[in-house]
Amino acid sequence: MIIDLNGLNILLTGSSRGIGFGIARALLENKARVALHYNKNRTNLERLLKEKSGYKGELFQANLEDLRETEKLFKNVTNKFGKIDILINNAGIAIDSPILKETEGWLEDWEKTLRVNLSSLALLCKLAIEHFLKIGGGRIINIASRAAFRGDTPDYMAYAASKGGIVSLTRTIARGFGKKNVKAFLIAPGFVRTDMARDFTDKYGEGIALDDIALNKLTTPDDIAPFVVFLSSGLADHATGGTFDFNAGSYVH
């Protein structure tokens, strides 16, 4: 499906790989102007922008573990683009942190996960809402996880908790700012074939993930990206506050 996003300015975090990279390509293909955030992996995005001369993407680096850098990222994009119409919070980390790990290290993993996955996301949402109130509205699309609803393995307790926080935050935004023309949506992927997921498959084996789903193949970023484009278009604004599951039937609620 081709949806014309021409004229829309979008900030996409975590765009250099995995789900974010798939979303980035889909947004660019549909003519959006995209601020492509990355932390370390710039090469993939440079290669993406060379694929087609008409792509309107610009690169912005920030370490989202640092909330000052997070705030600076939003300001840099607004200064360069003039305005942001859509914020897509995709960036996230998943740290394998066993419950029997020594307490100091376990807490470090916990705090880092929540800073990147929840605190930086919340700050970007705050900044976006303030911006949207000035320009007459906007959309926020937050990438959560099925782990927010069914939990995760104990080694990824912090990941599940951080994604659960995203759910409550997004629903609050949708209910609290809808009258101000601010919409907020949740995407909740299950196991997706990405670099991040490889840590899990290396430890537990891909067969566990396949046995857990209802379909015959694992979800890929390209299965999710078209729906993010659809939400970005404004064609589904009355689904604000809604959660959209992409878990191949592994968790139905």
The long-range contacts involving 49-53, CB below 8 angstroms and separated by at least 24 positions, are 51/25, 52/28
In this prediction, residue 191 has a pLDDT band, given cuts at 50, 70 and 90, of confident
Whole-number Cα distances in Å, 19 to 39, 76, 145, 223 = 15, 23, 12, 9
Choosing among 1.10.10.60, 3.40.1190.20, 3.30.930.10, 3.40.50.720, the CATH entry for 9-189+221-242 is 3.40.50.720
Q: Over 90: is that where the pLDDT of 213 sits? A: no
Residue with tokens 């990222």, as numbered in its chain: 73
**Euclidean distance between CA atoms 238 and 40, whole angstroms:** 36
Percent of residues, the chain, with pLDDT higher than 70: 95
Residue with tokens 């080694």, as numbered in its chain: 155
pLDDT of residue 251: 84
Q: Where are the beta strands (DSSP E) in the chain?
A: 9-12, 33-38, 56-61, 86-89, 138-143, 182-189, 243-246
pLDDT of residue 248: 86
Contact 79, 123 (CB under 8 A): no
Q: φ and ψ at 106, to 5 degrees?
A: -65, -40
> Is the pTM for the entire model greater than 0.75?
yes
**Euclidean distance between CA atoms 140 and 128, whole angstroms:** 8
pLDDT of residue 211: 76
Percent of residues, the chain, with pLDDT higher than 90: 84
**Euclidean distance between CA atoms 181 and 184, whole angstroms:** 10
Nearest to 142 by CA among 232, 16, 52: 232
pLDDT tens-digit series, residues 147-178:
999 999 999 999 999 999 999 999 999 999 99
Residue type for position 68: R
Torsion over CA of 99, 105, 110 and 112, rounded to 10 degrees?
-150
Could you state, in order of their start, the residue ranges of all structural domains in the chain? Answer: 9-189+221-242
Q: Over 70: is that where the pLDDT of 1 sits? A: no
pLDDT tens-digit series, residues 113-156:
999 999 999 999 999 999 999 999 999 999 999 999 999 999 99
Q: Over 70: is that where the pLDDT of 77 sits? A: yes
**Euclidean distance between CA atoms 93 and 112, whole angstroms:** 9
Q: Over 90: is that where the pLDDT of 112 sits? A: yes
* DSSP for residue 115: I
**Euclidean distance between CA atoms 147 and 164, whole angstroms:** 8
What average pLDDT is seen over the chain?
94
Max avg pLDDT among 167-181, 189-203, 211-225: 167-181
Tokens, residue 95:
């740290």
In sequence order, the β-bridge partners of residue 60 are 37
pLDDT tens-digit series, residues 21-53:
999 999 999 999 999 999 999 999 999 999 988
pLDDT of residue 195: 72
